[in-house]
Amino acid sequence: MLTSVSRTDSHHKMQKARRQPIRRRTILLFTKFFLITSIIPLITAAQDDSISNDLPTASQPNFSKRKVLDPEVSIRQELAFEFRQFAQPSPIADHNQDGTVSWQGRYSHSWFDNRGRVKNNITIVPFARYNSTDSERSRFDLQSLSWSHVNGNWETRSGIRTVSWRTSEAIHLVDVINQTDLTGDVDGEDKLGQPMINVLWGNSIVSIELFILPGFRERIFPGDDARLRGPVPISSKQANYESGAGRLRTDVAVKSTFFMGNWELALSHFSGTSREPILLFENNQLVPYYPVIEQSGLEIQFAAGDWLWKLESISRGGFDDPGSGISGSGNLGYGNSLTRIADNTRPDRYEAVSAGFEFTWSGLGETGFDLGILSEYLWDARRDEVFANDIFVGIRLGLNDIQGTELLVGSIADLNHEEYLSFIEFSRRIGDSGRIDLTARFFDAAGNLANRQRDTDLFVLHDDDYLSLSYSHYF
């Protein structure tokens, strides 16, 4: 049975003292980084200014005499209807189907310079969703409420934004800027808008980004009446933080991306409150605890003909809890089986890797279809975690037709526990303004019921195989 463990004040002081050198090293790391990288932008900016101040010649048009384009306004909307059918009853929920209606708008207003390039832009992306059974899934959010300004090689973006750091297919280890909305889907790809100031400098070889992230948003878990959750309720309203600032803490991140022919390499570092919580068992419920982490990330992509090689890797420090807990790691957000006894042996720093490839046959035979084979290996130094020793295999089929028909079939196999997370995703445009999506997910583990409950990670979802059908209308 899970038990909560309280710590003494002296232990908290020791823990805080232990992390002070890490935070000092982080500050020194950021200082050195920006002292070095600021030289390149300053030199380039000076060169750009000297060129722009020269008189125009026959080979250099006088752009100042060109007419500035009128501002451009774009308004788009999406209205979606989804029906979800579960394959079997659940012992913790009284329904086998649910329905969802969602709406997303996008307003964009752009201003141009005398070369026809975007100089300023305002983007607003509101999102609203209603679900028939889960109140936590019904919500309103701003995916974007941002302003961006471009000046030469510099770009400043401020406001609420959604940023994606993703390279691999199965899981996204490095993607740490925005909080996850687990009520959207169990794949962890639905995100909440994050307030930020983002400054970017870049050219054709390298881009450098700084993120200042004021304020923190808690992870959204399925509610007590929802499917796709464990038997123990999660009390998000009682969330605890390692940082004394709680939700008001300002986090910092930096990322450098290098473009070298067929290679793309990105180095990143995040310092702040973990988007991924640790779930502590208290008073017969799970309470999210958000530690302060230092996470360094590496992303690599290499394209060679029909092959695309991918790698994501992180080294994360500070992801430990003040008592017994269930890690929130992995896309499912639950970590180990809720029946497994947690302990305090979680390391203060650990590494995780996702590496693999995608091979694509373009124009297969005389059909014109594209067929892709995907495979990735998932590894985590914490051997008892979800996706610690797993293999992902998938097939992607694109028909290259007017309707943009695509099919993705895949499965993640746990090599330790012989359990599988499998999925089928199909999409096709309907006419000029519609799209249909069909998704099926299956959660399976080998062995009898007692063994699955004791030894597997996905036992909490073994009754939640489902089929989802949705139609989206764009206008």
Tokens of 303: 């394209």
Listed in sequence order, the residues at least 6 apart from 285 whose beta carbon sits closer than 8 Å to its beta carbon are 232, 233, 234, 235
**Contact call for residues 380 and 354 (beta carbons, < 8 A):** no
Q: Could you tell me which of 466, 187, 462, 133 has the C-alpha nearest to residue 333?
A: 187
pLDDT, tens only, 369-413:
999 999 999 999 987 788 889 999 999 999 999 999 999 999 999
Separation between Cα atoms, residue 127 and residue 141, nearest integer Å: 5
Q: Which residues of the chain have pLDDT under 70?
A: 1-68, 321-347, 445-459
Q: What is the pLDDT of residue 43?
A: 42
Decide if 176 contacts 292 (C-beta within 8 A).
no
CA nearest to 355, candidates 169, 191, 162: 169
Q: In terms of C-beta distances under 8 Å and separation of at least 24 residues, what long-range contacts does 423-429 make, across chains too?
A: 423/187, 428/403, 428/404, 429/402, 429/403, 429/404, 429/405
**How is residue 389 written in tokens?**
């020793």
Partners of 286 in beta bridges: 234, 281
> Which tokens belong to 157?
């973006």
Handedness of CA 173, 175, 181, 185 (dihedral sign): negative
Is the backbone of residue 404 left (phi > 0), alpha (psi -120 to 50) or beta?
A: left
Q: Which CATH number fits domain 9-51+67-474: 3.40.50.300, 1.10.3720.10, 2.40.160.10, 3.80.10.10?
A: 2.40.160.10
Q: Identify the CA nearest to 154 among candidates 269, 36, 42.
A: 42
Residue whose token pair is 């279809």: 369
Which residue is listed with tokens 């695509």?
406
Structure confidence by residue, pLDDT tens digits, 174-201: 999 999 999 988 888 999 999 999 999 9
- Residue-level pLDDT at 230: 82
Residue-range domain boundaries for the chain = 9-51+67-474
Give the pLDDT confidence score for residue 70 in this predicted structure.
86
Within 400-448, where are the H helices?
none
pLDDT for residue 332: 39
